[in-house]
């Protein structure tokens, strides 16, 4: 049995374990241990498990992960972003589908402050969905808007996915974070345009509402969102201006979130405890999956997979577009079943040697991959964002209704992906100025 056959069997076994709902970190760890033991020896496998997890967890660049998670937890539990929807609602209610458009842009702002797609969907489900249903909005439109716009959290910085991708591919994390800004805004605008056009063509989806809001109240509502803007501006401005590294930006963002919450009188003992507990649990979950992926990488490297993939690309004269098409198919299919972070870390060891062999810009590819893993949060049967919205609103809307509503947003994603793949400058424009 050749080393490559062992690697292929290990990948198949990992897929089987994942299909059996074995935790991702456990599945990858078991396969990697067995694979290294077969290729080298059980002693070598034990030595790898004794050193690689520590070397990974001790990486300084990964300290941004718990800091960004803590920042998002503080903004969520202290309610710093609760004013975003109110401000967007009073400014956009006259637009066709105004409440849905307001939910979309408010989610983009919340995502920029929290960095979490699931947290954004959960928070906005509590605030925006009941409001839209109260005014007679179509149930599929109301719930799908919140579920889809929550995915902006992985693109608009801070983004945990970009931090992990940057660490693994040895790319600049600040450049990756900045690269996600324009694709994130493009996605938000595409959603908004689709909502407005649908509601213009089919007004019963979103009945017009009349709010008695004075000009002064509008500006007061807008003025109330300054804490969120300050937090976002502090994190992005520090990295873009070269004042902070990604790790320092995460720490500064967490510190700023605590300060703002304290100044506004929202920093109670309960908020502090819940924020820290959530940050610890989330960070542990992410790192557990990542350690499994590190072990898988070592296993595949020992089997010679990176060299094999590079030679295969050279012999076949494979084009960039063919690799993009293959990557798209793989991510769209696996994204229906796997956790986004796990999906990225499982596939990178296989695809990365090919990217390098073809000379593909890894910053641009990072945006493409993060975009695809977020699309996976919307696709059935395991569209996590849809399940989050369903869990928050209860029996008011069926899961099938949510997924049917998401089809329109997936159509927008198809258009956005064509633009991002066809025009890499959308992703690379801002990082080019850093």
More confident residue, 148 or 117: 148
Comparing CA positions, the residue from 294, 256, 247, 276 lying closest to residue 63 is 247
Per-residue pLDDT tens over the stretch 338-364? 777 777 877 888 888 888 888 889 999
d(CA 202, CA 208): 12
Name the least confident of 30-34, 66-70, 102-106, 137-141.
66-70
**pLDDT at residue 421 is higher than 80:** yes
d(CA 179, CA 128): 29
**Under a CB-based contact definition with an 8 Å cutoff, are residues 146 and 191 in contact?**
no
Name the least confident of 95-99, 113-117, 238-242, 344-348.
113-117
Q: What percent of the chain has pLDDT over 90?
A: 16
Residues 6+ apart with CB under 8 A from 225: 83, 84, 87, 109
Please give the pLDDT value at position 193.
95
When pLDDT is averaged across residues 174-192 and rounded to a whole number, the result is 92
Please give the pLDDT value at position 82.
66
Comparing CA positions, the residue from 433, 429, 365, 373 lying closest to residue 166 is 365
**pLDDT at residue 1 is higher than 60:** no
Torsion from C-alpha of 141, 147, 150, 155, nearest 10 degrees: -90
Cis preceding linkage at 158, omega within 30? yes
d(CA 109, CA 142): 18
Please give the pLDDT value at position 384.
75
**Under a CB-based contact definition with an 8 Å cutoff, are residues 174 and 300 in contact?**
no
C-alpha 414 chain-centroid distance? 17
Please give the pLDDT value at position 426.
94
What's the angle, vertex CA 234, arms to CA 228 and CA 237, rounded to 5?
125
Local structure of residue 244 (DSSP, 8 states): S
Residues 6+ apart with CB under 8 A from 302: 3, 35, 36, 39, 40
- Of the pLDDT bands very low, low, confident and very high (cuts 50, 70, 90), residue 415 is very high
Maximum Cα–Cα distance across the chain: 76
d(CA 335, CA 251): 31
**pLDDT at residue 162 is higher than 80:** yes
Please give the pLDDT value at position 424.
93
Per-residue pLDDT tens over the stretch 357-393? 888 899 999 999 999 988 888 887 667 788 778 877 8
- State the chain's mean pLDDT as an integer: 82
């Amino acid at each position: 049995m050749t080393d490559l056959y062992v690697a292929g069997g290990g990948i198949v076994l990992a897929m089987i374990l994942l299909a059996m709902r074995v935790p991702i970190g456990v599945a990858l760890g078991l396969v990697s241990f067995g694979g290294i033991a077969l290729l080298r020896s059980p002693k070598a496998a034990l030595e790898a498990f004794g050193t690689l997890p520590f070397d990974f967890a001790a990486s300084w660049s990964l300290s941004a992960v718990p800091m960004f998670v803590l920042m998002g937890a503080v903004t969520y539990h202290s309610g710093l972003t609760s004013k975003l929807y109110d401000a967007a609602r009073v400014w956009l209610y006259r637009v066709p589908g105004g409440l849905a458009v307001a939910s979309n842009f408010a989610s983009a702002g919340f995502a920029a402050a929290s960095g979490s797609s699931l947290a954004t969907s959960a928070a906005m489900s509590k605030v925006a969905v009941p409001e839209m249903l109260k005014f007679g909005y179509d149930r599929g439109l109301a719930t799908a808007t919140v579920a889809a716009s929550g995915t902006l959290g992985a693109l608009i910085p801070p983004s945990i996915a970009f931090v992990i991708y940057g660490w693994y591919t040895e790319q600049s994390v600040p450049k990756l974070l900045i690269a996600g800004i324009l694709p994130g805004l493009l996605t938000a605008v595409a959603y908004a345009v689709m909502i407005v056009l649908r509601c213009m063509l089919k007004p019963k989806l979103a009945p017009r509402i009349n709010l008695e809001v004075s000009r002064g109240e509008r500006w007061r509502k807008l003025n109330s969102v300054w804490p969120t803007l300050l937090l976002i501006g502090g994190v992005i401005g520090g990295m873009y201006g070269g004042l902070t590294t990604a790790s320092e930006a995460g720490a500064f963002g967490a510190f700023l979130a605590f300060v703002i919450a304290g100044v506004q009188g929202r920093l109670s003992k309960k908020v502090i405890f819940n924020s820290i507990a959530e940050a610890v649990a989330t960070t542990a979950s992410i790192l557990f999956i990542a350690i499994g992926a590190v072990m898988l990488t070592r296993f595949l490297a020992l089997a010679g997979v990176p060299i094999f993939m590079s030679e295969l690309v050279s012999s076949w004269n494979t084009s960039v577009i063919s690799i993009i098409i293959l990557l798209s198919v793989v991510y769209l299919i696996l994204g229906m079943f796997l956790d986004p972070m796990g999906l990225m870390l499982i596939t990178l060891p296989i695809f990365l040697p090919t990217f390098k062999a073809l000379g593909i810009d890894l910053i641009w590819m990072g945006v493409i991959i993060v975009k695809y893993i977020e699309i996976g949060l919307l696709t059935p049967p395991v569209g996590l964002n849809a399940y989050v919205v369903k869990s928050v609103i209860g029996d008011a809307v069926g899961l099938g209704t949510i997924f049917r509503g998401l089809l329109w947003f997936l159509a927008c994603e198809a258009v956005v992906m064509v633009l991002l793949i066809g025009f890499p400058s959308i992703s690379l424009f801002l990082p080019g100025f850093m």
